Each structure stands twice: as C-alpha cells, then as structure tokens.
Chain A
C-alpha cells in the first residue's frame, strides 16, 4: 500500500494536449481528495521509445515515473502511443497496488478513427482512463459493473460506456486503501 501523499501529475510529450493537464489535475483532486502537484518528467522519455514499433513502452515509463513518486502516487500523462510487450497498444498502465501509473490520450482522439475532433469527449475519456489507472494503484481490479470507471475497456467506444465514477464497492475499496485517514470522497 502506498503511503498517503500528494499525487504527482507528470506530463510527458503532451504537445497540443498540454491544456488538458490543469483541468485533469482538478478532476483528480476532486475524485481522490488528494493534493495534486504537476511536475515535469525527471527523466528522458526517449528511453521508452521502441523504434521497431514506433511506440513508447509503458512499462519503461512506469519504471521512470516510480523514481518520481516520492512516497505518494505518480501519474504520467502523455499524448504518445503506448504499448506493452505482447499487446499492440494500451490506453494506459498502472502498478496494481503500487504507486505509479501512466495514461495516454493518443488513442482517445476521435480523429484517429476518421471522425471529427471532439475535444470534450477526448477530455472525458482522459479523465476516465486516468481515474481507472489510478484505481489500479489502490489495488482495484476490473469491475463487472459496466458503469463503474473500473470496468475494463479494451477499445475506445467501451470507455464511453462507463462513467467517471466508482461503483459503491470499488469506492469502498478506494476508501479502505486511502488510509490514514480515509479522505477519499465519492464522485457521487
């Protein structure tokens, strides 16, 4: 279990999406009731680049982010395309019951699917995936409740089916994990 402390938000190659970082920090503060600090990466993200795939290895990024956690949780936010070995891509990755998580907005953009840009939807998806990955750092696994933010999403439309909130059971787990004291508030 990670010790309570501020959540560090680390923008990595956010480019045109840099404007989403501050609103995202506000959303995460509200959801987890933790202080959110935005910090630049203390490492060279290129170490995670796999030239044969043209993607960034999320596992390597997690390893780097871990060094920046300083006793609290750390969430990397990026606009580059992430992968883990074996899989073609991931929207994000987190250490189960560990301090580090990373999320990418790359595949959350409708333009990638031949649709017009929808910045509102993109931000909604990013919030959901950020909360989802952080949920894993609280020890949560995928939830069978399709409306819970912890429901598994392996394609982008699935993200749209779930809400930004934890179901009661997952919320309870987050509260239990956020000791001491239980400071997490529900997004109810």
Chain B
C-alpha cells in the first residue's frame, strides 16, 4: 500500500462520508487526487497497481473507486471486472488520458459508474464523486429496503405443518417463479389472499406491487373503471385521469379476488387484456403495454358457472392454468394449535396484553371445533379471547366457540329449530357482525337480517340460545 501518501488525520465536521480508493500508476495523480478528496473529508486510500487495489478491496469496504485505465500489468478495464465481482455496488469512475468512445462504452458496459478524461474540471470531478457516493448510498438503502420487505413477507407467512398445507407450500414454491396465471380455490376464510401474496413474495416480481381487486365488491361499471382506469372526461364526473389497477400492477401481480363474480361483458374485456397485456383506459385511444402476472381466487364452482353460462369458457381456461386448492381448516386440524399460537403472539403484541399461552382445555376446544369460517374465524376467535381474556393464558370461557358435535339421533328438533340455533350461534360468535355472519353462513346479508326477523333473534337471546341450547 502506498502509505507514504497518507496524510495526517484531517479535522473535519462530518464523518459519515463514503470512502474512496484511487488507483493510478502515476504517483503525482494519486497524490493530487487523494489530497483533493481528503480536503472534502473523504477517507482516501491509494494503490499504484491492480494488485494493491485488490488487496485494499479485500481488506476494507470502499464506496467509490477512481480507476486509471492505462496501467502496467492488469489494466483498469480488467481490474474493473474484478472490482465488480468483489463488490457489485462500488461506483467505479474510470479515468483516462485519452478519450475514446469505444473504451468509454466498454467500461460502462462492464458496469463503470462514469468515465472521465484527464485533465478533469475540478467542479465536474467533485460533483461526479458526490453523485457516485449518493448512488452507492441509495443502492445500499435499496438493498436494506428489500431485506426489510423480505423480512415483512416472511413475518406474515403461511402457518402450518399439516400435509395439506405442506402440499400448498410446495405448489407455491413450484409456481412462484414462473409467470403462469394461478387460480386459487377454496372456501371463504381459508387464506386465499395469503397464498396469492406468498406467490407474489416468492416471485421475481416481489419488488413491484401486488394489486388486489375484489371483483365481487363492485358493480360492473365501477369495476371496469377500477381495472382499466379512465381518461379525463371519459364519463360524467371523471374530472381527472385515473390509473387503473391493471396499470398499477405493472411489473408486479394483479390479484383478482372473487373472480367468479365478474360479469360476462367484463370477462371479454379482461380476456383481451390478459392475452395482449395491453390496456386502454376508458375514454382513451392508446393502448398501454403492461407487464403483470395474474393471480385470481374464487370460492365459487367455476365449472358449474361455465355450464350455466355465467362464466365464459375461454376466460375460465385462460385463468385455470395452475390451480391451488386452499384447504379448509377442518381438513388440517393439526395446524390449529400452531395457528392459534401464531395469532395469539401477534394479537397480544398488537394489543399489548401479556397473554402468552392457551390453556390445554381451551386448545382442546379449538381443535375440536369445525371452523366453518376457517382460518379467518380462528383468528377472530383468538382476537376476541385476547380482548376478553386475562393474562397469562386464554381459558375456554374466553373463546366464542363450543365443541361442534352432531345432533343426537332421534332428536325431536325441527329444521327451523336447528336453523334458528345455528344462526343465533353464528351471530353470537361474530359479535353480531352481520357481514361476518353472512360469510360464515354463506348467505347474503339480507338473508341474515331475514333470519333474525323470522326467528325474532335478539342479541341477549342469541347468547342464551347458544349457551343453553347448543348440543353438548
């Protein structure tokens, strides 16, 4: 190392500047550059040839390398390749005495940050190094953010060890890195969106967004605008141009939830977009190229919908490329303790309640229950238990579930009695949340209200019915 060129420690007000390595066979150049940048506060080291430079690079971290192209032995271009192998993020500024377009192009192709010709304007050099340092800092920030994203993805991962969920995880791994369209099927609350997010998170598209669209939640005209976007003045009230969800998914994934609810007309429009990967905003005339992957989910029987003419066959085949079945929780009961503890940890942390375990008798109750609302219902049950429970453990009475057992043979109950009791139990379980009750009962909200009216259910009565009449 050319330690003789190392100056006395400078006195400076800032210490978070990047580090520089100057590689040049001319002593005068090394000295000038190191002296120049030390006055800017950069820690600078120098090397007079490639061997010394590589030794420095293996010894410590540098942010910017100023590299002379013409050097005896290994020249700057060759050294550039080695430097990039050691640390891809280093910003290398190539310096040469002779301007040559070919060399400039070649060095940039090899990953150099920039290329300057001696003598260099001092202002240009200072700006260039500042820019290189900033680029390096941003690149590192980007890596940190990616790691954070990866960490976040990992934190909300799919929980389970049952054969059913292992098979799903294998399928996710298998399909994630392809661009194949994935259709996720399963009952409500089985975690279809979580599977979609896991596919996206494990794909090369993970640094771009996954854009979810709940196709069942919007009327046709709104869904069209939501998906395709619109130009200003495309329809009454469209005062500004709006990007559609498809456009927003550029580079990433489009998650179409409740895909079975899409109208036949929209199916035609979407089919065209999926095939051409081009989208035209409503009221627009120019198609925009969009690069996205489609993941969709449904709890409907699409084959039946095709038979009944509600779902286009061509659209069905376009979506049904790779299917993943999200198993119902009753088919993976061995995962219930894992899931319950997972939700408990998360929720007690979120609510800052020090409930750390689930008592064995409470866990037995959880495992015995059939979970018609699947994992979502389990999560809600744990949430309620954390709210009403007391540290250190969840007790059976904290849980809004009772063991589900078949009605005794020969029961004298009518169908209406059974229905009344079941509706009351679900309402009590959901805390009279009509939307959630409708989801669990797999009927619409209006039906839930009708049942409440029909059986004259009231909140306290439902509790009484549930606790007193439920078969034990």
Contact in complex: A86, B41 (CB < 8 Å): no
Bound-complex Cα distance A138 to B8 (A): 11
Q: Are A96 and B120 in contact (CB under 8 A)?
A: no
Are B39 and A86 interface neighbours, CB within 8 A?
no
CB proximity of B100 to chain A, nearest CB, Å? 18
Q: Kindly provide the distance from the CB of B41 to the nearest chain A CB, expressed in whole angstroms.
A: 5
List which B19-50 residues lie within 8 A (CB) of chain A.
26, 28-29, 31-33, 35-36, 38-41
**A97–B6 Cα gap in the complex (Å)?**
12
In the assembled complex, how far is the CB of residue A24 from the closest CB belonging to chain B, in whole angstroms? Answer: 22
Interface size class of B (residues with CB under 8 A): 20 to 34
Residues of A within 8 A of B14 (CB): 144
Contact of A169 among B13, B26, B32 (CB under 8 A): B13
**Cβ contact within 8 Å between B13 and A88:** no
Are A88 and B121 in contact, CB atoms less than 8 angstroms apart?
Answer: yes
Contact, CB under 8 Å: A83 / B119: yes
Asked whether, in the complex, the Cβ of B11 is within 8 Å of the Cβ of A87, the reply is: no
Q: Is the CB of B40 within 8 A of A85?
A: no
B122-130, B390-398, B456-464 - the one binding chain A? B122-130
In the bound complex, how far is the Cα of B122 from the Cα of A86, in angstroms?
9
Does chain A have a CB within 8 A of B59?
A: no
Give A121 to B8 CA distance when docked, in angstroms: 34
Flag if B33 contacts A86 (CB, 8 Å).
Answer: yes
Q: How far is the CA of A177 from the CA of B36 in the complex (A)?
A: 21
- Report whether B32 and A84 are in contact in the complex, using a CB–CB cutoff of 8 Å: yes
Assess whether A141 is in contact with B39, with CB atoms less than 8 Å apart.
yes
B95 on interface, CB distance cutoff 8 Å: yes
Residues of B contacting A88 in the complex (Cβ-Cβ under 8 angstroms): 119-122
Task: Tell me if B118 is interfacial: C-beta within 8 Å of chain A.
Answer: yes
Most buried by A among B11, B33, B118: B11
By Cβ-Cβ distance, the 8 closest A-B pairs, closest first, are A154-B123, A141-B12, A84-B32, A139-B11, A97-B8, A85-B28, A88-B119, A154-B122
List residues of chain B with CB under 8 Å of any chain A CB.
7-14, 26, 28-29, 31-33, 35-36, 38-41, 95, 118-123, 125-126
Q: Can you offer 9 A-B residue contacts whose CB atoms are under 8 A?
A: A53-B119, A86-B95, A90-B122, A96-B38, A97-B7, A97-B9, A139-B11, A140-B12, A169-B13
Q: A86-B33, A155-B123 are in contact. List 9 more A-B contacts (CB 8 A).
A: A86-B120, A87-B121, A87-B125, A88-B119, A96-B8, A138-B11, A141-B39, A144-B14, A145-B13
